[in-house]
A and B are shown apart, each in its own frame.
Chain A
């Protein structure tokens, strides 16, 4: 009698687990980034981590690579329990991570970057550099994999995929790496480059290295991954193999989207009859986006959905005069505009709530009044540029109430507020400008769910007096908030802005470039 095959399979599966993460929890202030997540990895598999922004993928891999410490839960590697206190400890344990934007030294060659810190036989500052041996070692490492890179070229001169390969080889320069984490390695790669990266990943897998692979691009995961884990709102909602997905007809987009999140969006009330304020025709910028056309009306919210690398960030900055367009026209109130600087765009009635609010939106060490009034000196200052302290403070207090700033302490520096409240300060700054067009880029990244609802309500209210454009890589957000939506895929608009596009259609358009039916 042969033993029960299913049982045997289960046993080998359990033996095959090299990594077990159980009930992992992590909080950032009031935000629960990971809420009791289980995750297992088998030896020699390529495991895709999927989920919308803020679903918890990055937090999980940062815990696994020793950047964050977990609040609760256990990590077992090859059966033994493990505490990962630092990135070094993770590497010692055989876990290496390649960041989304890996740190490389541009003027050094590929070989030198691979062995940065390990150039000589022993570590130290006064070891002999044998460049020929270094090249040979790098070449030997490279030759184990079916990819071709000129390792003698400077990294700065390399195409994106070669840099990615160099970064991966740098992570693998030690022989004892068993788990490799790749964070969005394909976001800047072309199709052909992607194929070459996938070849490398398959050969790593053949060499017994397990790969955790984070991506937003669903069209490519079936091509490369063996198993999938989908995250949503800090939880692991499903784990399955490719064949299970096919057999059971699992829809990954459906799993990724949060059904309950519908409640946090205010009712859509744009009827699309308002006069167009901003009209964009065939706007293009070399290498970033092309032929983008839309009209934004007062009285409605226009939503643009696009992943990292889709060009939405550059598009927003081009509309705001911070980047120059190569072609196409921008009309504001029917008059063609060529903004030479953000200052000019601001004067003419545009306002950008930028995607990186700490780096682009706020003067962090200054207080709320300073930040709120900075962009409209015509209003905040009078004769000879003298500031109107009293009225500025009153106006700020009023706006702070309007955006529900918590705590409403106007003399605190912006740095002291939480992410959501920092975003409210940027919005207050926009409101103070009384602009005609508001562009919000990634408005709720790093914002907890309660503050999100408030921000969405503010944006909806704002749409009654100005044209509001929301650009985001969060499909739910764009779909739930906007009256009309458009997806950008690799710099190209998919179709035209439409009312009533379904969530799934919008998602497929943004992550696969599929034209909605």
Chain B
């Protein structure tokens, strides 16, 4: 019996018994639960079926938009164009539907725009190895500008939301159908991240690019895939938003920018001790939506909520840096 501890090996034994590790690994979920329970106690409306349903729907759309971003940041790169790509897809759908196209055609066009911008980022950053931040600032601005131009600077309201609206409104009990679909996508993503070489290389890439290149892994192809994924999923989120808001909003990207980075970095604290991961991002999204929604019910102003967002991001990045620095020594 005593051999058991030794059989585990010293590192594993240490990992299992260190309570601090368990706390940082799962503490985030405890925090999440505390936030939800607190708001539910303070404002019963928070836990109402309608509110929960609405929060899950928002979380699903944000989840789509931030999935690619999660892995891009995990791989040590950055993408600040995702929210503008969503806005562009959103406006393309709105314009086409307004002009009489079907929702199917319009959605395909929106998705195509997302793929196009994903491919542009992939080419410039993944293949040509240009600096990711400045390039995605520029491609993001390009997408945002086209989005604004499509609506001549204003939003476009839609009279009907087509089959996308029906999908979005569909519920299974309290849970929206899209939330279930996005959950399934995240489950698949978690599997790819944890069980496929793809996810394995993403994290190795962030730590020692030279080692991964030396081992013969097609590093450029990974980055190309990540930017394509980010572009197309962001576009998908933009399409859903066209139906959710029954309008095209050229500036909808602004509010998702901080939220995306916050969810990814803060969520990185969950499970992987500072490394962005898909489950963490999902938890981060729920924390943000819970906080912002609850704060709104408590009567907080937009500015106060904006400060909460910025501060959370600051806290998140500090936690990530500190925990990883401690982990390393």
Interface residues of A (CB under 8 A from B): 87-88, 103-108, 112-113, 116-120, 123-129, 150, 152-154, 156-157, 170
Contact = CB atoms under 8 A, between A and B. Distances in A.
Nearest to A107: B207
Nearest to A119: B197
Interface stretch (B4-12, B25-33, B84-92): B4-12
B203 A107 contact: yes
Interface stretch (B64-72, B209-217, B244-252): B209-217
A87 to B, nearest CB: 8
Contact of A117 (B12, B215, B328): B215
Nearest to B202: A125
B9 A152 contact: yes
A156 B195 CA distance: 22
A164 to B, nearest CB: 15
A125 B218 contact: yes
Contacts of A106: 207-208, 328
A415 to B, nearest CB: 21
A103 B205 CA distance: 12
Contact of B12 (A113, A119, A127, A152): A152
Q: Which of B192, B210, B211 has the most CB of A within 10 A?
A: B211
Q: Which of B11, B195, B203 has the most CB of A within 10 A?
A: B11
A125 B196 CA distance: 7
Contact of A156 (B10, B217, B328): B328
Contact of A112 (B9, B196, B200, B216): B200
A367 B272 CA distance: 46
A105 B196 contact: no
Contacts of B221: 125
B222 interface: yes
Interface residues of B, number: 27
Contact of A127 (B196, B210, B211, B222): B196
Contact of A157 (B11, B211, B216, B222): B11
A105 B215 CA distance: 11
A170 B12 CA distance: 22
Contact of B211 (A116, A126, A153): A116
Contacts of B214: 87, 103
Contact of A108 (B10, B12, B204, B210): B204
B212 A125 contact: no
Nearest to A131: B195
Nearest to B8: A152
A153 B10 contact: yes
Interface string B301-314: 00000000000000
Nearest to A122: B197
A153 B211 CA distance: 18
B280 to A, nearest CB: 16
B197 A125 contact: yes
A125 B11 contact: no
A486 to B, nearest CB: 33
Given A117-B217, A127-B197, 15 more contacts: A105-B204, A105-B211, A106-B208, A106-B328, A108-B204, A117-B215, A118-B215, A119-B197, A125-B196, A125-B221, A126-B197, A129-B200, A153-B9, A153-B10, A154-B11
B248 to A, nearest CB: 36
B163 interface: no
Interface in B220-247: 221-222, 225
13 contacts: A103-B211, A104-B211, A108-B203, A116-B217, A117-B212, A117-B216, A119-B200, A125-B218, A126-B192, A126-B196, A128-B195, A150-B10, A153-B11
A237 to B, nearest CB: 33
Contacts of B208: 103-106
B198 interface: yes
Contacts of B11: 150, 152-154, 157
Looking at B197, B214, B328, which has the most chain A CB atoms within 10 Å of its CB?
B197
A129 B225 contact: no
